[in-house]
Amino acid sequence: MTSHKLNEPSVAGQSVTGQCYCGTVRFAITDFQPQLMTCHCTICQRVSAADCVSYGHSPKQNFSWLQGLQQLNYLQTSEDTQRPFCCNCGSQMPIIYEPANQVFVPAALLDEVDGFKVIGHCFVRSKKPWLQLPDDETQYEAFPG
For 67-90, what is each residue's pLDDT tens digit? 999 999 999 888 888 899 999 999
Q: Could you give all domains of the chain from N- to C-terminal order, each with its CATH number?
A: 14-139 (3.90.1590.10)
The arithmetic mean of pLDDT across residues 104-111, rounded, is: 95
* Residue 138 confidence (pLDDT): 92
Residue 4 has pLDDT above 50, yes or no: no
Determine contact, residues 20/89, Cβ cutoff 8 Å.
yes
Q: What is the mean pLDDT of the chain?
A: 88
Query: Would you place residue 100 in the very low, low, confident or very high pLDDT band (cuts 50, 70, 90)?
Result: confident
Strand ranges, E, within 1-145 = 14-19, 26-32, 35-39, 53-59, 63-67, 72-78, 81-86, 95-97, 102-106, 117-122, 138-139
Query: What is the pTM assigned to this prediction?
Result: 0.84
Split at pLDDT 50, 70, 90, the class of 114 is: confident
pLDDT of residue 126: 94
What gap in Å lies between CA 58 and CA 7, rounded to an integer? 8
